[in-house]
Amino acid sequence: MIRPLGLAECFGLATLLCGCAAYHALPLPHAPDLAASVAALRVVLPADPPGPQPRRIDVRKPLDLDAIGLLAILNDPDLASERGERGAAQAAVLQATLLPNPSMSLGYGALLGGPGTTSSYAASLTEDIAAIVAYRPRVRSAQARLAQVDADLLWREWQVAQKARLLALDIYWTDRSATLDRRELALVSDELATVKAATEAGNLDLKALSPLLAAKAAAEQALAAVRLAQLRNWQDLDALLGLMPDVRFAIALPRPLPQPPDIARRIADLPERRPDLVALRLGYRSSDENVRAAILGQFPAFSLGGSWSSDNSAVRSAGPTFTFDLPIFNRNQGEIAAARATRHLLHEQYQSRLDRAVGSIRGLTAQAQRLTADLVQARAASASAASLSSAAREAYAQGDLDQRSLTDFETTALDRQLEVIRLERSLGEDRITLAVELGIGLPNARIAPVARDGT
């Protein structure tokens, strides 16, 4: 007869069942999750440190470059998809903290005949001691890896914000360039129409049309190229913000970023501030702990436990059991060599990244200084050309200047303005890139949300 389960057995079985994981379906989406307007984006920044009221980005007014960068971090679809990396790293930490289950064996021998008087029983319980020896280095390695993933994700947020700010900067100045290009095309078209009328009246030779036709074709091609570049920039920016590709919004006048002070001091503490360098340092720390764990792995596989048995004559015995490998052929040399090689590789990668970062910072600093000086000269030249253009218009109104000369003065003034715009855009791009290279001007903690919550 089968004995019913007692209270203790039922409680133990229920505890085991409660500790088991259950399956939950995660269906794939059936439609895109792109916003139809800026107002539909996430606009709430989490408080840092926790406690103060979260800050909300006002999307009802023209957005400055910093606000656009933050909106990109909050809404970029690629950043939202990368949170699975942190989940995998967290799972690795959990796995590293778990000790192997003890092994248990049970045996039963029914008495079928012979001098014996009873059935035999055997039981043993063993635990892997080698896994405990390398426990702490293994856990520290997984924890450092998790911190590395966090730092890598923060650096990706910075890269997304930088790209969004650069795109917004290009869109703003390209709009200004397109306006000037249209004015230049209108000037050339007006002059071409006047010359055409003169040639049809027989007052000018057809040769006078040739340079104007070429100038108009060049102006049309330049304007078409600017419009295409602008369309691509808008589409790229909409993609970063998680918007439909035809959404447009107002961008505020970019404020010129000042040259960061004390570049030498900021370069000195760069490894403590830039997330990518911090991530590489944490990766090196994780690899170093793996080297420790591999060295401790030379300890041979060793299981310790106890056993109890009863034979057919009811003689009972119990005692400890030891099971271990003899480290004759494999002393974990392969794992040690691989861990050391990985650590050396990360050491070299960190040095290379640090060298590139410092070189880029110094190069950008020199470029910004050159652009600043060129911009001063370009603004002076633009003011002078604008003054000459104004004087030319007055002379033309009084009949002292022909239209071709007036057009030359006005197109020269427009070209000078376009040069100022080009330098302002280049200087703005260098200053934004320099700030990111120095690890300043962006949140020091991750702000990308884990899931879309409607805020």
Is the preceding omega at residue 320 within 30 degrees of 0, hence cis?
A: no
pTM: 0.82
List the one residue out of 48, 47, 46, 67 whose CA is nearest residue 57.
67
Residue 168 and residue 190: Cα distance in Å, rounded? Answer: 33
pLDDT at residue 11, as a whole number: 55
Q: Is 320 helix (H, G, I), strand (E, B) or coil?
A: strand
- DSSP assignment string, 419-446: HHHHHHHHHHHHHHHHHHHHT-SS-SS-
What are the C-alpha distances in Å from 36 to residues 39, 248, 275, 449? Answer: 8, 10, 33, 20
Q: How do 302-310 and 120-128 pair as beta strands?
A: antiparallel
User: CA–CA separation, 84 vs 375, rounded Å?
Assistant: 46
For residue 159, the SS3 value is: helix
Cα–Cα distance, 388 to 409 (Å, whole number): 7
- Please name each of the domains of the chain with its CATH number: 62-438 (1.20.1600.10)
Tokens of 428: 């703005």
Q: What distance in Å separates the CA atoms of residue 356 and residue 362, rounded to the nearest whole number?
A: 10
Could you give the count of Cα atoms lying within 13 Å of 179 in the half-sphere of its Cβ? 8
Q: Which of 372, 373, 381, 447 is nearest to 415 (CA)?
A: 381
Average pLDDT per consecutive 10 residues, the chain (455 residues; last block may be shorter): 50 57 78 87 79 82 94 90 80 88 87 80 85 87 91 93 96 94 88 80 71 86 92 95 94 84 88 92 92 84 80 82 78 87 93 94 93 94 93 86 84 92 94 91 78 41
- The pLDDT, as a whole number, for residue 297 is 81
Task: Give φ, ψ of 251 to 5 degrees.
Answer: -115, 130
Phi and psi (nearest 5°) for 5? -65, 140
399: left (phi over 0), alpha (psi -120 to 50) or beta: left
Model pLDDT, residue 235: 96
Copy the structure tokens of residue 221.
Answer: 């091609």
**pLDDT score for 225:** 92
Residue 69 CA, chain-centre distance (Å), reads 12
Task: Please give the pLDDT value at position 451.
Answer: 47
The reported pLDDT for the residue numbered 421 is 94
pLDDT at residue 405 in the model: 85
Closest by CA position to 162, among listed 50, 79, 73, 75: 73
Q: Residue 219: CB partners within 8 Å, gap ≥ 6?
A: 181, 184, 185, 188
At 450 the pLDDT is: 55
